[in-house]
Amino acid sequence: MLPNATTNFWPSARNYAEAVQCPLVCFEEPSLKRMLPAVDRLGMPLVTSGQFAYVFKLNPGDAGGETLAVRCFRGFLGDREERYRALDAHLNAHRIGALPRFKYLPKGILVAGRRYPVLVMEWVEGPTLDVYLDEAVGRREALLHLADEWVRLVAALREAEVAHGDLQHGNIIVEGGRLRLVDLDGMYVPALQGFKASEVGHQHYQHPARDVAHFSADTDNFSALVVYLSLISLAERPELWGEHHDENLLFTRADFADPAASALFPKIEALGEEHARLAEALKAACTSDPESAPPLTELVEPRSTLPGWMNAPADVEVRARTREVARAPALREPHWPAPKTRRGTPATPESATVQGLFHAAAAGAQAVPRDPADLRGNTFYFAKSAFGDSYGYIWWIPLHNFFLRYIWAAFGAEGFAGMMLTLIALFVLLLFYGLFRAVYYAETATTALPAGGAPAPGLGPARPAATLFAGHAPPPPPPPLFAPHATGAPPAPPPLTVAARPVVGNRSLGIYHLPDCDWAARVPQRQRADFDSPTTAAAAGYRPCRVCKP
**DSSP output for 19-46:** HHT-HHHHB-SHHHHT-EE-B-TTSPBP
Does 315 or 219 have the greater pLDDT score? 219
Residue 49 has pLDDT above 60, yes or no: yes
Distance CA 476, CA 453 (A): 24
Do 306 and 416 share a domain, yes or no?
no
Secondary structure (H, E, C), 359-393: ECCCCCCCCCCCCCCCHHHHHHHHHHHHHHHCCHH
Instruction: Point out the least confidently predicted range of 50-54, 185-189, 242-246, 437-441.
Output: 437-441
DSSP 431-490: HHHHHHHHHHHHHH----PPTTSPPPTTS-S--PPP-TTTTSPPPPPPPPSSPPPPSSPP
Do 434 and 404 share a domain, yes or no?
yes
Q: What is each CA distance from 255 to 147, 204, 457, in whole angstroms?
A: 21, 9, 79
Residue 493 has pLDDT above 70, yes or no: no
> 402: pLDDT confidence band, cut at 50, 70 and 90?
confident
Residue 68 has pLDDT above 90, yes or no: yes
Give the residue from 330, 360, 395 where a domain finishes.
330
- Number of structural domains in the chain: 4
Distance CA 85, CA 102 (A): 11
Task: Report the pLDDT value the prediction gives residue 90, as an integer from 0 to 100.
Answer: 94
Q: pLDDT per residue over 86-129, tens digit each?
A: 999 999 899 898 999 999 999 999 998 899 999 999 999 889 99
Does 46 or 4 have the greater pLDDT score? 46
529: containing domain: 498-544
Work out the burial of residue 356: count CB atoms within 10 Å of its CB; fewer than 13 is exposed, 13-18 middle, 19 or more buried: exposed
Task: Quote the mean pLDDT of the chain.
Answer: 80
Give the residue from 330, 359, 393 where a domain finishes.
330
Do 165 and 294 share a domain, yes or no?
yes
Do 134 and 190 share a domain, yes or no?
yes
Instruction: Report the chain's C-alpha Rg in angstroms.
Output: 37
In a domain, 473, yes or no: no
Do 178 and 297 share a domain, yes or no?
yes
Task: Report the pLDDT value the prediction gives residue 276, as an integer from 0 to 100.
Answer: 96
Cβ partners under 8 Å of residue 235, min gap 6: 140, 143, 144, 147
Q: pLDDT per residue over 262-300, tens digit each?
A: 999 999 999 999 999 999 999 999 999 988 899 999 999
In a domain, 549, yes or no: no
Q: pLDDT per residue over 122-150, tens digit each?
A: 999 889 999 999 999 999 999 999 999 99
Task: Report the pLDDT value the prediction gives residue 346, as an integer from 0 to 100.
Answer: 55
Residue 329 has pLDDT above 70, yes or no: no
In a domain, 474, yes or no: no
Q: pLDDT per residue over 301-311, tens digit each?
A: 877 655 555 55
In a domain, 46, yes or no: yes
Task: Report the pLDDT value the prediction gives residue 397, as an integer from 0 to 100.
Answer: 80
Do 390 and 413 share a domain, yes or no?
yes
Q: pLDDT per residue over 443-464, tens digit each?
A: 665 433 343 444 433 333 444 4
Work out the burial of residue 464: count CB atoms within 10 Å of its CB; fewer than 13 is exposed, 13-18 middle, 19 or more buried: exposed
Residue 484 has pLDDT above 60, yes or no: no
Do 266 and 405 share a domain, yes or no?
no
Task: Report the pLDDT value the prediction gives residue 267, as an integer from 0 to 100.
Answer: 96
Do 73 and 195 share a domain, yes or no?
no
Average pLDDT over residues 44-65: 86
Task: Report the pLDDT value the prediction gives residue 391, as an integer from 0 to 100.
Answer: 76
Q: pLDDT per residue over 330-379, tens digit each?
A: 555 555 566 666 555 555 554 444 444 444 444 444 455 667 667 788 88
Q: Supply the DSSP symbol for 338.
A: P
Do 263 and 136 share a domain, yes or no?
yes
In a domain, 312, yes or no: yes
CATH classification of the domain holding 89: 3.30.200
CATH classification of the domain holding 160: 1.10.510.10
> 8: pLDDT confidence band, cut at 50, 70 and 90?
low
240 phi and psi angles, rounded to 5 deg: -60, -25
In a domain, 220, yes or no: yes
Q: pLDDT per residue over 149-177, tens digit each?
A: 999 999 999 999 999 999 999 999 998 88
Do 1 and 113 share a domain, yes or no?
yes
Residue 198 has pLDDT above 50, yes or no: yes
Task: Report the pLDDT value the prediction gives residue 483, as an integer from 0 to 100.
Answer: 60
> 395: pLDDT confidence band, cut at 50, 70 and 90?
confident
Give the residue from 102, 123, 144 where a domain finishes.
123
In a domain, 225, yes or no: yes
Do 93 and 157 share a domain, yes or no?
no
Instruction: Point out the least confidently predicted range of 130-134, 484-488, 499-503, 521-525.
Output: 484-488
Do 284 and 252 share a domain, yes or no?
yes
In a domain, 338, yes or no: no
